[in-house]
Amino acid sequence: MLAIVAPGQGSQVPGMLGSWISDPELHELVSAWSMRIDLDLLRLGTTADADEIKDTANAQPLIVATSLLGAHALGLKGFAYVSGHSVGELAAAALSGAINHEDALRLVRARGLEMAKAAAQSPAGMAAVLGGDRDLVLSTLNELNLVPANDNGGGQIVAAGDLDALATLAQNPPQGSRVRALAVAGAFHTHFMSPAVEPLRALASTISTHPTSVTVISNKDGEAVTDGAQVLDRIVNQIANPVRWDLCMQTLKNLGVTGVIELPPAGTLVGLLKRGAPEIEVFALKNAEDLTEAREFAGRHI
């Protein structure tokens, strides 16, 4: 049984659209998306530097567009489940049929802008705590008034909050752990993002939803969701609430998934799955040169 997963913010790398848009059809598709959301995805995905694509307002639509482009090029039918990490849930929603691709891109464009505004109000950040005892890590975050914004499983918890507190965490990590700062410009999935929720809820209320053709595994609690309206409502609420990727991985295991393909810009979720669900075979679709191998991988699991 095959699942498709879409990565979240922090997975972006300069030039990540390069291999995809050499195909004229895919180039035209990105051009159309760029016009629709008034953002030059082609330039951001080819010549923009790391600092520019770290900007939340740019990173989020670029990541979702890249995932959707990779899925379009892959052209798979018959996969059973789809999930996305954080902003990747919008790519997952589109792939499930809960919303259409254009609406997903409109939403992610607004999401990026609103979250960037929220981040500017209170400078904050995020850092991954790798390894260590889970209870000790959570206790340390609580002492520093940091939020476990992403519980990613596989020995990784992402802390979010005040920059000084994150610096203290990095200088004195919990025993047996190490801390790595993330390339994001805010404390996502925490109360710092509350100002972004209502504007997104208002926009989401104008979007048509549909029963999914592929079951979505939700970041909220790892629940398998097939109601399109519920998929969208959960995505909006998750803006200011923690991501439970650990529970998503557990659900994939419980449902008997044997293979997972991570859409571009791939790598992060495959790494988490290798540690948190090693019994599931994984494939990272990083560039267009991987398509043939990805289809062969899918054929072994569909």
d(CA 285, CA 270): 10
Question: Do 124-181 and 2-121+189-297 have the same topology in CATH?
Answer: no
The amino acid sitting at 106 is R
**What is the token pair recorded at 41?**
């995805």
Under the banding of pLDDT at 50, 70 and 90, the label for residue 183 is confident
The amino acid sitting at 212 is T
d(CA 277, CA 257): 10
Q: Is the pLDDT of residue 250 over 90?
A: yes
Domain ranges of the chain: 2-121+189-297, 124-181
> pLDDT tens-digit profile of 191-212?
999 999 999 999 999 999 999 9
What CATH superfamily is the domain 124-181?
Answer: Malonyl-CoA ACP transacylase, ACP-binding (3.30.70.250)
Average pLDDT, the chain: 96
Nearest Cα to 11, choosing from 74, 103, 84, 115?
84
Torsion of CA 128, 134, 140, 145, to 10 degrees: 70
- Is the pTM higher than 0.85? The answer reads yes
* Helices (runs of H) and strands (runs of E) counted in the chain: 13, 10
For residue 101, count CB atoms less than 10 angstroms from its CB and return exposed for 0-12, middle for 13-18, buried for 19 or more.
Answer: buried
The dihedral sign for the CA sequence 162, 220, 233, 85:
positive
Under the banding of pLDDT at 50, 70 and 90, the label for residue 107 is very high
Mean pLDDT confidence for 2-19: 95
**What is the token pair recorded at 9?**
């913010």
> So what's the pLDDT on residue 92?
98
> So what's the pLDDT on residue 201?
97
> So what's the pLDDT on residue 281?
98
Q: What is the CA radius of gyration of the chain?
A: 18
Least confident of 9-13, 20-24, 64-68, 261-265: 9-13
Q: Who's near 19: CB < 8 A, 6+ residues apart?
A: 287, 288, 289
> Catalytic positions, please?
86, 189
> So what's the pLDDT on residue 242?
95
> pLDDT tens-digit profile of 127-152?
999 999 999 999 999 999 999 999 99
Q: Is the pLDDT of residue 122 over 90?
A: no
> pLDDT tens-digit profile of 18-63?
999 999 999 999 999 999 999 999 999 999 999 999 999 999 999 9
Fold of 2-121+189-297: Malonyl-Coenzyme A Acyl Carrier Protein; domain 2 (3.40.366)
> So what's the pLDDT on residue 154?
84
Nearest Cα to 168, choosing from 183, 179, 155, 182?
179
